[in-house]
């Protein structure tokens, strides 16, 4: 059960203290307070966990400070979309709004290799009016002898350059909880020139201790990738781990499933699940066409498969596109074969805009048909 408190409820107020005192006396029920800072207001939600069957919505609604009560199902309690609820989706981070209604492209380097390539990438992003990017500093690699990423060494120049080129959010994978501290330290040392969205990669989707520690910090939002060999339900529960520890600013990433049935793509493209994630949860949905397709394969119509699957995901309502670019893919230290060229960036963005426009038109068409059916 979730109690949604009146806007801007003051935790020092008498009524709030009365509410908390009442909740603390409920037998076998634990309450967890989540503060959600919106653009203009602070929303406080109290999650009641445990033996909530004994509580009624009416009784809870009559408690001081309570505006609304949502009875949640067992599934994905915090991030899930429950019956008859219309709580907002999304959050603001460093001046950028992420929700199930917005769309942002995170084009960038799969792995940071050197300062020059980071700068070239960021210059291209700025020229194309982009404020988000991806930059891999910690790389989980199959082969222990492969390049593992420059780690904390590259963070200062990545952050400085981001600030210089107006980048507001960098998606950056972490593979260990200590990386969060390294990121915070480097941001601090460089004067907080940008924001970081922590990325949990597909190999760590069920690294529960990592999920718990990333869930406990509230500073950075998290992009969690779907596990490539587990069920969707298992991956959504992994996302819920983050929220259950306190961090509800979570984006869910589709990046293809590992199976030979997806051949010749690197992974079986799963962007048909964009609307499924939106129906089951309130998370914005990210698609990663690069790790899904894994190559620069070109269709006979002259369009790269990476472009095609991106358009499919965006036309279905995706909210974020994480995509690999590189100034010289042949020299990239990780995933060069799937990287797009900087000369393709404006083409890619225009193609995304066409697909987004198609989605917006599809929404309007669906609304129009619903209304005419209701009127009939
Ligand atoms: C990545 O985005 O760099 C990455 C490694 O992705 P995934 O975890 O989906 O393989
Ligand atoms: Mn990669």
Q: How far is the CA of 210 from the centre of ligand 1 (A)?
A: 16
| 313 CB within 6 A, ligand 1 | no
Q: Is the peptide bond before 264 cis (omega within 30 degrees of 0)?
A: yes
Q: Which ligand is nearest to the CA of 106?
A: 1
Q: How far is the CA of 201 from the centre of ligand 1 (A)?
A: 5
Q: How far is the CA of 189 from the centre of ligand 2 (A)?
A: 28
Q: What is the pLDDT of residues 184-242, one digit of tens each?
A: 999 999 999 999 999 999 999 999 999 999 999 999 999 999 999 999 999 999 999 99
pLDDT-wise least confident of 34-43, 61-70, 146-155, 350-359:
34-43
| 266 CB within 6 A, ligand 1 | no
pLDDT of residue 43: 84
- Per-residue pLDDT band for 36 (boundaries 50, 70, 90) equals confident
Q: SS3 breakdown of the chain: % helix, strand, coil, rounded to 5?
A: 40, 20, 40
Burial of 84 (C-beta count, 10 Å sphere; 0-12/13-18/19+)? exposed
Place of tokens 């930059």: 135
| 235 CB within 6 A, ligand 1 | no
Q: Is the pLDDT of residue 38 over 70?
A: no
Ligand 1 atom showing the smallest separation from residue 290 Cα: 2
- For the entire predicted model, the pTM comes to 0.93
Q: How far is the CA of 258 from the centre of ligand 1 (A)?
A: 12
Q: Pocket of ligand 1, candidates 175, 202, 268, 324: which has the most ligand atoms within 8 Å of its Cβ, to mutate?
A: 202
Residues above pLDDT 90, as percent of the chain: 88
pLDDT of residue 85: 74
CA-nearest residue for atom 3, ligand 1, is 110
| 110 CB within 6 A, ligand 1 | yes
**DSSP 3-state of 160:** helix
Which residues are CB-contacts of 203 (< 8 A; sequence separation ≥ 6)? 140, 228
Say how far apart CA 152 and CA 163 lie, in whole Å.
17
| 173 CB within 6 A, ligand 1 | yes
- Per-residue pLDDT band for 50 (boundaries 50, 70, 90) equals confident
Q: Pocket of ligand 1, candidates 288, 324, 326, 334: which has the most ligand atoms within 8 Å of its Cβ, to mutate?
A: 288
pLDDT of residue 39: 63
CA-nearest residue for atom 5, ligand 1, is 201
Q: How far is the CA of 280 from the centre of ligand 2 (A)?
A: 28
| 314 CB within 6 A, ligand 1 | no
| 255 CB within 6 A, ligand 1 | yes
Say how far apart CA 206 and CA 189 lie, in whole Å.
32
Q: Is the pLDDT of residue 369 over 70?
A: yes
Over residues 71-83, the mean pLDDT reads 86
Q: Is the pLDDT of residue 316 over 90?
A: yes
177-180-33 Cα angle (round to 5):
85
Q: What is the pLDDT of residues 230-252, one digit of tens each?
A: 999 999 999 999 998 989 999 99
Residues above pLDDT 70, as percent of the chain: 99
Q: What is the pLDDT of residues 14-35, one digit of tens each?
A: 999 999 999 999 999 999 888 8
């Amino acid at each position: 059960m979730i109690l949604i408190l009146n806007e801007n409820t003051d935790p020092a107020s008498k009524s709030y203290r009365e509410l908390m005192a009442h909740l603390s006396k409920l037998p076998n029920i634990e309450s967890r307070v989540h503060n959600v800072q919106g653009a203009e207001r602070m929303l406080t939600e109290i999650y009641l966990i445990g033996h909530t069957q004994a509580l009624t919505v009416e009784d809870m609604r009559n408690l001081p400070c309570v505006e609304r009560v949502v009875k949640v199902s067992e599934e994905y309690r915090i991030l899930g979309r429950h019956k008859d609820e219309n709580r907002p989706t999304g959050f603001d981070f460093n001046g950028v709004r992420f929700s199930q209604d917005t769309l942002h492209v995170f084009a960038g380097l799969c792995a940071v290799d050197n300062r020059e390539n980071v700068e070239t990438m960021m210059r291209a992003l700025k020229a194309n009016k982009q404020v988000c990017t991806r930059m891999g500093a910690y790389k989980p690699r199959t082969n222990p002898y492969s390049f593992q990423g420059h780690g904390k060494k590259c963070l200062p120049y990545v952050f400085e350059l981001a600030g210089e080129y107006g980048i507001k959010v960098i998606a950056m994978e972490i593979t260990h909880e200590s990386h969060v501290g390294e990121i915070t330290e480097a941001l601090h040392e460089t004067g907080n020139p940008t924001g970081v969205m922590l990325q949990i990669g597909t190999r760590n989707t069920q690294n529960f201790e990592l999920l718990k520690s990333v869930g406990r910090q509230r500073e950075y939002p998290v992009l969690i990738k779907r596990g490539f060999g587990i069920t969707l339900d298992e991956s959504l529960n992994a996302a819920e781990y983050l929220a259950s520890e306190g961090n509800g600013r979570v984006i869910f990433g589709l990046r293809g499933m590992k199976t030979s049935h997806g051949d010749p793509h690197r992974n079986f493209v799963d962007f048909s699940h964009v609307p499924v994630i939106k129906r089951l949860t309130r998370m914005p949905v990210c698609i990663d066409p690069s790790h899904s397709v894994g190559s620069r394969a070109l269709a006979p119509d002259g369009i790269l498969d990476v472009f095609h699957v991106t358009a499919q995901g965006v036309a279905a309502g995706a909210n974020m596109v994480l995509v690999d670019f590189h100034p010289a893919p042949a020299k990239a230290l990780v995933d060069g074969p799937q990287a797009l060229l900087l000369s393709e960036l404006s083409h890619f963005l225009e193609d995304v805009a066409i697909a987004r426009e198609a989605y917006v038109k599809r929404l309007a068409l669906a609304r129009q048909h619903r209304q005419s059916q209701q009127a009939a």
